[in-house]
Chain A
Amino acid sequence: MDMPSPNPAILARKARLAERLRAVLPADAVIQDEAETRVYECDALTAYRCPPLLAVLPRSTQEVSAVLRICHEEGVPVVPRGAGTSLAGGALPTADCVILGVARMNEVLETDYDNRIIRVQTGRTNLSVSGAVEEEEFFYAPDPSSQLACAIAGNIAMNSGGAHCLKYGVTTNNLLGITMVMMDGTVAEIGGAHLDAGGLDLLGVICGSEGQLGVVTEATLRILRKPEGARPVLIGYDSNEVAGACVSDIIKAGVLPVAIEFMDRPCIEACEAFAKAGYPMCEALLIIEVEGSEAEIAHQLGLITEIARSHNPVELREAGDADEAARIWLGRKSAFGAMGQLNDYMCLDGTIPVSSLPFVLRRIGEMSKEFGLDVANVFHAGDGNMHPLILFDANKPGDLETCEAFGAEILKLCVEAGGCLTGEHGVGIEKRDLMLHQYSAADLEAQLKVKDVFDPKWLLNPAKVFPLSVTESRRAVALAAE
């Protein structure tokens, strides 16, 4: 992945910039030392690294505003950073940028159960939002698998999802209001504790804009009462086609599980070897979870198992108690760890229409042979969000490049099947150059026009989301204005 070359004029102004930032921030909030800026050289896409010019760690909306105003005046690019867990390189710096980290802004500002909202500073981690309302049996629904570490700021930037979004939706469906600082330092309040913000749906376009439209410092999030209980069932089939048909039949029957997870044989084998969850060795494994009271769970599982049986499963295992439920989830939840033990891996997240699942899995199998790299699939089957894990050896010359080429072909396949490049991780730098496979130049132009309004100088996270060739003229204008 190419990144634009740093602007020498900005590199030369490092000392002055640091001085100006120090004038508006506490002394320990401006990081200038090269050994310390290295902490921010990458996010969870570790194959790409570049220490930023400076990093700042403000504690308030006012401090964020002061930082952005200075960077705006100085014409310095800013890369916002939540917890740095992006798998797509969303927080990857350039050498001439300021990293604006919100990690120190992690307060809960308000919890209001009557109105079912929580207001937080966005540096707070996803899981600790649920933690803050757990006492009252509430939770925050979007649950990306990095939820222990990832920040709400990053969730909003990437419109993060999770395993339970078939029922509860993703970040954008659970975000009611924000405080956002624009690149010129203007503070904007959008939405609030009411359900629909007025005017154009700015909240909708800001959520998922990968930190390119503004820096969100506070968020009002919808919280929900926990269901009385939840229970999974595990179903094994000897073909992907049959497993796919089973999922489709369950949905058509009017049951809406909270999660439908799908694992293919390579994934089952790796998980079993790693976690010994007692999974059957078969071609396709479904884990389906339903919620409600005991009687409601029993009723829904009854319908699901009846449909599942009509497709002749090789295994059908209901969880009798919490232990058995945990064992059913054990393998799935350790899938990534299992892969990590086998090899280095790249995790993709293209989405496809559920109906094309068997075709796409078959093609991925064929491509795996062509590229000579193994691939295992875990999959949110209810919403079509795939997670192919391509295994490679980072120490073997050329393997990363082969893996990236294979990954790009899988994502193109997802688009051809009627799906998209990314379901929940975001584009970042990882999928940036594939955007023209999904969208025409005119489609992308419409998106760029939105950025032109929010950030006319193209200073916020400018080298992400869109192919560099597509944004070049706009970024050049920003440089020329120096």
Chain B
Amino acid sequence: MMTPGSEAELAEAIAGASGPLCIQGGASRGLGVEGDVLSTRGLSGIELYEPGALTLVVKSGTPVAEVEALLAAENQRLAFEPMDHRGLLGTDGEPTVGGVIAANVSGPRRIQAGAARDHLLGVRLVDGSGQAVKNGGRVMKNVTGYDLVKLMCGAHGTLGVLTEVSLKVLPKPECSGTLVWHGLGWVASLKVFCEALKSPYDVTGAGRVPQGAAGKSMTYIRVEGFEDSVKYRLTELRRLFSDLKPDELNIDAEENAQIWQSLRDAEPFHGKAGDVWRTSVKPTDMLKVTGQRDFEHVVDWGGGLIWSLVPEGEDLRQKLADVPGHATLVRACADTRARLGVFQPQPAPLAAISEGLRRQFDPRGILNPGLMG
């Protein structure tokens, strides 16, 4: 394993590589790519944090936990609520900011605050030739040249290895409140999601888990903000659902944190046998996915994101062939991943562009080869 301690050393390692490299942040996701491991853990540390400007610049190998603690001390947070994959994948390791950004990892608040890519202001990276490149910066509005920041976010290290990222951070709200429905079916849950998200009450979470504490499914709607405002909006939301009365109104801080962390991390599938798929669809198409009744599903993003627990080796994509969107195989054995592919194949014109971009940024094809196509 190579663990360069600076961007220059990382550039040297890539330029001098003679074969495929498996790019690793905190090793909490286990990419299953063949090659010498190139770790970013030697690139760690906060470069700049200005709470009054909502700006954070960190080296890519910095642990997410360290960043979250730093922000919490100033009552701020990463608003895109990145999930922690360890429970679902049964891995150890320590999630890093670079890993979160490389995979564009975004949690329940994605529907309101945006994804990781929407909070990423700038990047430094080393491409597959060993060339260091910067793009974007540390300011919130920046249209100077092409937005390679977004291109790198979600590229899973296939276009370059991130060395530093700038992020927009946001204030942590005073209070979080959740409406909870017990045992609501899929159709009714979708109705709750749509009505809540069409309301002016600034909903920051909308999801459903198959089995909550009471043994029944739980459907959740979350709002956040100043306490009086949260109470007001929960009351107004409850009024919206005159024929679908919620069973609970929960404003306990710890319980709220638990509910949303559990949903964020697809906790109902932790330790359960089977493959786990993550499907992104138009929210109202949720029913086409949850209609696969042989599988268990955890729903987030108001119906737009579905985690499905599927018997090993089965191809969920085949069953959803007519549904616009895409399905990612998040957890499966190496054989299944190799056979089905982790990422959904793209239509020809997009596959050609993606392949062209990979060839430009990684002409030798050594950065996480084969991971994205």
Contact = CB atoms under 8 A, between A and B. Distances in A.
B141 A380 contact: yes
A354 B52 contact: yes
A143 to B, nearest CB: 13
14 contacts: A112-B284, A161-B143, A166-B140, A189-B347, A201-B153, A203-B150, A204-B117, A225-B200, A252-B74, A295-B232, A296-B229, A420-B142, A424-B141, A424-B143
B148 A196 contact: no
A190 B349 CA distance: 10
B222 interface: no
Contacts of A209: 146-147
A227 B146 CA distance: 33
A195 B171 contact: no
7 cross-chain pairs, A with B, having the tightest CB-CB distances, nearest first = A204-B150, A248-B52, A198-B326, A423-B141, A453-B356, A254-B171, A193-B282
Contacts of B110: 195
A443 B149 CA distance: 12
Contacts of B354: 199-200, 202
Interface in A381-400: 382-385
Interface of B: 50-55, 74-75, 104, 106, 110-111, 114-115, 117-118, 127, 131-135, 137-151, 153-155, 158-159, 170-174, 194, 197-200, 202, 225-226, 228-229, 232-233, 236, 280-285, 301, 304-305, 324-326, 328, 343-344, 346-347, 349-350, 353-354, 356-357, 360-361, 372-373
A417 B29 CA distance: 38
A438 B134 CA distance: 10
A165 B143 contact: no
A119 to B, nearest CB: 11
Given A226-B200, A442-B133, 4 more contacts: A196-B280, A197-B326, A351-B140, A454-B353
Contacts of B304: 194-195
Most buried by B among A198, A256, A355: A198
A193 B324 contact: yes
A121 B127 CA distance: 36
Q: Is the interface of A mostly helix, strand, loop or mixed?
A: loop
Contacts of A431: 144
A466 B145 CA distance: 8
A169 interface: yes
Nearest to A195: B304
Interface residues of A, number: 96
A208 interface: yes
Interface in A160-215: 161, 165-166, 169-170, 172-173, 182, 186-190, 192-205, 207-209
Given A169-B118, A254-B171, A453-B357, A426 B280 contact: no
A202 to B, nearest CB: 6
A353 B53 contact: yes
B252 to A, nearest CB: 20
A388 to B, nearest CB: 15
B241 to A, nearest CB: 16
Given A196-B115, A293-B232, A450-B360, A201 B170 contact: no
A113 B173 CA distance: 28
B139 A353 contact: yes
Nearest to A450: B146
B147 A438 contact: no
B141 A256 contact: no
Given A255-B171, A295-B228, A425 B280 contact: no
A200 B155 contact: yes
Contact of B144 (A161, A420, A445): A420
A421 interface: yes
